Amino acid sequence: MNTTLFAHMIDKYNEKAYTHNYIYGFIFQNMVYMVYATAEVMPYVLKLDKASRGAGYSLRFCPTKEQKVFLLSKGAQVLCSKEFFELTVEKNKPYNKGEVFEKMVTEFYGQTWVKDRIPFTEAGDIEVNKIAYQIKFEKATFTTEKTLARI
């Protein structure tokens, strides 16, 4: 991995991001977990990946087993079973797993979820106790080189 590019993209993302608070979601041992984290965790759980459609590289949340164990140690809590999550994804087509996870987290906090396209530079996905959070589920793309160059 190009560690210089990886660090540069994380820095640029954080310069532009509206919030530096995250709710990460992942599946581990047949359970769906959510965990709160700040930008300091990004280098430990993100990876540099090839972006699609000529957008260069991307920052992605594709946690390995070891990274999931790390996130568990940060206070991850069970949201639901993997089975329930998969049934909910099926019932909520055409939304993807990330969108369904975002919906479930939003509803967990008694809020109404609405699909939006608000950029990460303008708002979080949810506000809890007056703190804005971006919500990311496994395989989520944070940003691409092309997006960072444009903003």
CA distances from 3 to 49, 55, 66 (A): 12, 18, 19
Quickly state the pLDDT bin for 73 (edges 50, 70, 90).
very high
Q: What is the pLDDT of residue 52?
A: 85
Average confidence (pLDDT) over 134-151 = 95
Q: Quick one: pLDDT at residue 90?
A: 97
Contact of 57 with 5, CB cutoff 8 Å: yes
Query: Could you tell me whether strands 46-50 and 21-28 are parallel, antiparallel, or unpaired per DSSP bridges?
Result: unpaired
Please say whether the beta carbons of 16 and 148 come within 8 A.
yes
Please state, in angstroms and rounded to a whole number, the distance separating the CA atoms of residues 146 and 111. Answer: 33
Q: Residue 1: pLDDT above 80? A: no
pLDDT tens digits along 16-52: 999 999 999 999 999 999 999 999 999 999 999 999 8
pTM reported for the whole predicted model: 0.94
Domain boundaries, the chain: 3-150
Q: Is the pLDDT of residue 86 over 90?
A: yes
Closest CA to 148 of 8, 24, 54, 1: 8
